Structures are given as structure tokens and as C-alpha cells.
Amino acid sequence: MHRRAARFTTPRLPRRRRRLAARGRGRQADYYVDLRRITLDGEAAPLVGRVMRRLTDHLDYDAVGGLTLGADPVATSMLHAAAASGERLDAFVVRKAGKAHGLQQRIEGPSVEGRRVLVVEDTTTTGASPLDAVSAAREAGAEVVAVATIADRATGAGERIEAETGVPYLFVYGLEELGLA
């Protein structure tokens, strides 16, 4: 199994940012990990970018993105973290379906054709969103180097992603680190 958690101590968020909403969503669970409260927060989002870049610093990629909406703030945080370090990293958005008008593109942002890309997501439960994003990126001519997520819900999605795509699956927090195990 290639899945691995971050090999570093993840910084703790301010107390008010660590709350987790308890409710079911999608797959039935006793909890809901609401990471949009972190990824869209002006204080926490820069930290998200730095942590995700640190998690993937051993990989070679020049664009990051995934299926809208969960991946958008993660990719944008990483783009800004790279810029703050004097590096360039492009972000892209994968639509759930191609537009019916305009250019009818499934991927928005700079072209991923011929580029090494990282697919990201905020929380991984079934793996369907990153699998869809990997497929769309490959169809657009990208080489996907890995899938990375902030929180893995330990549902077997990581194994599924690795088996179906052949790329590593990385995550920062598991259920234990989130206090849910």
C-alpha cells in the first residue's frame, strides 16, 4: 500500500477552527468533516496551502486541481503558498460535466495538456471525486502524479484510488488525528 500520512507534525489550527460538525452526509456516518470552514477561512487557508505543499514536496508537478467544489479552495491555497515561496504553481478546476455552451471544456484554468498534475480534494470518503478528476485530467492530456487530500475518512477510498489509477494516495489527517477513531 502506497498510502501514507504526512511525515511531519501538522500545525494545530486556532481552537475555534477545529470544530467538526456532527451529521451524516453522502455516505451514512456519525460525523461530517466540514473542511470548507477551514479551506475558505482567511486565517486557515494559507496554512492549508503550506501543509498540502509539504505533504507533496517529494513529487514533481506544476499544476494542481480537482473536482469542483471540494478541490477548488485546496488548489487555490496551494497556488498562493507556492507564490509566497517564490515558486509558480497553476491551479485548475474540473467540472462535474462539460459546459453545454462556450468552449464546452470540462477543465477550466491553464491547460493541463502535457503537464504533470496533482489531484486534490478536501475530504475523501468514497474516492469518486478524485477518480473522476484523474480521469478528466488524463483525457485532457495530463500526467497525474498523485491524489492528495486533507482528511481521509478510512473508508477504503485510498486503496480504491491507487488500484484504479495506479497513482499514490496521500493524506494529511486520518480519523485518529481528527479525534474520530
Per residue of the chain (181 residues), give pLDDT as tens.
344 444 444 455 444 333 443 333 344 566 677 888 899 999 999 999 999 999 999 999 999 999 999 999 999 999 999 999 999 999 999 998 766 655 668 999 999 999 999 999 999 999 999 999 999 999 999 999 999 999 999 999 999 999 999 999 999 999 888 887 7
Residues ≥6 apart with Cβ < 8 Å to 157? 124, 125, 126, 127, 130, 169
The residues pairing with 120 across neighbouring beta strands, listed in sequence order, are 148
3-state secondary structure of 177: coil
The residues pairing with 66 across neighbouring beta strands, listed in sequence order, are 93
3-state secondary structure of 22: coil
* Contact predicate 127/154, CB 8 Å: no
User: Which residue in 64, 37, 60 sits closest to 49, CA to CA?
Assistant: 64
Task: Print the SS3 string covering 118-144.
Answer: EEEEEEECCCHHHHHHHHHHHHCCCEE
